[in-house]
Amino acid sequence: MTRFAFTVEFDGRPFMGWQRQAHGPSVQQAIEDAIHAVTGERAVIHAAGRTDAGVHGLAMRAHADIAKDIAPFRLMEALNARLRPHPVAILNCREVAQDWHARFSCLGRSYVYRIANRRAPLTWESGLCWRVIQPLDEHAMNEAAQLLVGRHDFTTFRSAHCQAESPVKTLDRLEVCREGDRLAIHAEARSFLHHQVRSMVGCLAMVGMGRWSVGDLEAARNAKERAALGLNAPPDGLYFVAARYPEV
């Protein structure tokens, strides 16, 4: 039995999320079905994180145990052939130690959230970023974002369905950058709560619109209750960027 590690890119628009579900297609199911088609095995693929419906992946890390004797490059090529026409691609495949785990060995995860700050409708980017028509003050957003960096109780920013044991997380980076009419919000932490990034982005957008002050965001953080949340951003603009491991 060989443990293979994968780097996966996917467009989240057709999927109900990463995790296999009974009520719709998932990225996990697409890859597991491709593995079965190539090897005849019903392998389970484990990922560095779970994504919601409509959330995208630039470099999701995952692993699966496969009995078939096959070289990593051949496996990657065969899986990509079987994954078509799904918008899922295996970017890299390699053998790893049996104790390497895509989720539990991960030391850090990073996301980027993309906003199109314009009045014109989106065309080819529809579903790939969040269009906000009100002018956004990225400097105020970035100032407010620093209030969330560090170790905090993020209850306000977690989904009511979040299954994490504790709402306390350490956010290593939350930075707002603008280039033209595009904003990118970069978030890095060892792990995140369900909806945490989208909830933080939604509240930062309210600051950028002038509907909230920096103090309002601080008050929402300190409230430690979901009812204090200002806005949960849609999944469209969220991308899983990278997972960090000891060997990297």
Q: Which of residues 57, 76, 96 is at a domain's end?
A: 96
Residue 62 lies inside a defined structural domain of this protein: yes
The pLDDT value recorded for residue 161 is: 81
Structure tokens at 162: 């979040």
The pLDDT value recorded for residue 21 is: 84
Q: What is the CATH number of the domain that holds 85?
A: 3.30.70.580
| Cα 134–Cα 145–Cα 128 angle in degrees, nearest 5 | 50
The pLDDT value recorded for residue 248 is: 44
Active-site residue among 52, 69, 99, 181?
52
Q: How far apart are CA 197 and CA 235, in angstroms?
A: 10
Can 52 be counted among the known catalytic residues? yes
Q: How far apart are CA 81 and CA 173, in angstroms?
A: 37
Are 60 and 92 contained in the same domain? yes
Are 153 and 39 contained in the same domain? no
Residue 103 lies inside a defined structural domain of this protein: no
Q: Which of residues 65, 96, 127 is at a domain's end?
A: 96
Residue 177 lies inside a defined structural domain of this protein: yes
14: phi then psi, degrees, rounded to nearest 5: -85, -5
Say if residues 93 and 72 touch (Cβ distance below 8 Å): yes
pTM: 0.94
The pLDDT value recorded for residue 83 is: 97
Structural domain including 26 reads 2-96
Are 141 and 81 contained in the same domain? no
Residue 144 lies inside a defined structural domain of this protein: yes
Are 130 and 74 contained in the same domain? no
The pLDDT value recorded for residue 162 is: 81
Are 163 and 236 contained in the same domain? yes
- Non-local CB neighbours of 19 within 8 Å, separated by 6+ positions: 26, 28, 50
Regions of the chain short of the pLDDT cut 70: 248
Are 129 and 225 contained in the same domain? yes
The pLDDT value recorded for residue 23 is: 84
Are 155 and 60 contained in the same domain? no
Are 76 and 113 contained in the same domain? no
Q: What is the pLDDT of residues 26-46, one digit of tens each?
A: 999 999 999 999 999 999 999
Residue 101 lies inside a defined structural domain of this protein: no
Are 118 and 214 contained in the same domain? yes
